[in-house]
Structure 1
């Protein structure tokens, strides 16, 4: 999926560590998806040194864990991957939902079907997936229709290299659920993309530099694009398409194999503090499930309707669910899309 924050160009910050010393904690997170200041604060308060390794998709993270990667304590799966990892027996029961400060968490973000009491994981962050565009190249962009029209006009556009996000656009435009397991609906969603494949210059996560330079008119990307919009307000814009979009939520989970289990639980408890959650939002520009943290977020973020959408827009965002064996329908259609490009 994805970079939720700055970019996926950072493939490695610090490598995974297999040591089990008392003063260590090893995180495995989406690329640049946590404010370094949060990690520094934790180390200052606890003396626990943190190492961070990064991944680009839920599938990449799961494959590495299943292949036997050792040394990681905490991972940050999307909700549907939280459910998958629970079913695979990969998660530790932390009891975080029983912590006194868990009352800070908005109950609507305890979404994992396998973890309804948050006995395992802590809701971490949420956001939407829309369109980042170059104002000079693209003009005004309000919808997926506008986005694909750019390609028809000879402008370059980029889609995410993510089967569910990209096929999800077809579902949204066809009025079907991004979690559909109806074979005909999945084929039709993929066909929507295939019919516009000639306009797509690439499937990529690393599109922000190209949109900023004007080499690409617009790209399918995450709400974290607002970081770059803030830096280049005359050049870039970000929009949640009016037809609807997907949203994501990541949870903070401790692995059952964590070598530093006690330190990992301390980090979950640390992140329950409103000022810490707000500190992460300040740099990441995404949503937080921590209710009191929302009063500490800078006004320019809290009032940005693409970061904190109004309720009617929020209700038009779809969250991915675990499809189990039916994911093979999407894998098949994704192969068809990628080979047609």
Structure 2
């Protein structure tokens, strides 16, 4: 029988272990899952402690397989929908336009606090920021590659603390220089490409940097709207991309109720759909077929193609290496300095 992973990471009683009759395949999946998903083992999913959960949910053989292989999608089964919604676009059509932007045509669902009692999508704060920044810098640099705008690029990052992922980000884009602003404590370290200023980014500083000759990229974590991978389960946060041309355009008024409905649909439906990809079983430890995992693969694919410019037959290998490296170096359960504003 297919058995869900013990989320408390405790030793099972010998009698319980015998009852489970774990197959070699399931044992190996548990070992790999435990190694790469140390945080996953702390999921607040009390129902998963029950030995006969799959049996009591009356899952079919196919559903059991999907349940076991896709831990981030388990809330679909725990809420007793029992049926995953498969994204019909397929692997080759996952794109910025279709999957990354909040548009007027995006789905809406009125907020319902009782609808999300089980939450198996994951929140990794620094990984979330890293993915959005890789996506932003990849698109900007690729667009400016054949113009003078690609020279002397300086990234101003307001609200950058604690920044435990930012040294890694700098290594990914060695052609860029960064200046981080925040009055809070940093985990990031200065380098040849990074300067840290322990102060708030004020209007006066904005005026000062607007006069320099270098081409500026401005990132602000004090918040086209981009959905985020690895956001909190009920997050209503997006990333807003503004270009130079956008500054002269009329202001856009947002309906907060409509926005909440769009983000609730994203959290409860879009993020828990099944997204196909060709990263085969056993080659992508820690990644399944949820929206967040598929988005990470998409962002890293764009990066290795546009920035690293690797050969197409090397893309998959490089993406897997990056994803594994990001997990080891960025995603952890270590405490970071609290942000007090």
Please, what TM-score do these two structures have when normalized by structure 1? 0.27
Q: Which has more strand, going by share of residues?
A: 1
Tell me which of the two structures has the higher relative contact order, counting C-alpha pairs closer than 8 angstroms and 6 or more residues apart: 1
Structure whose CA Rg is larger: 2
Please, what TM-score do these two structures have when normalized by structure 2? 0.27
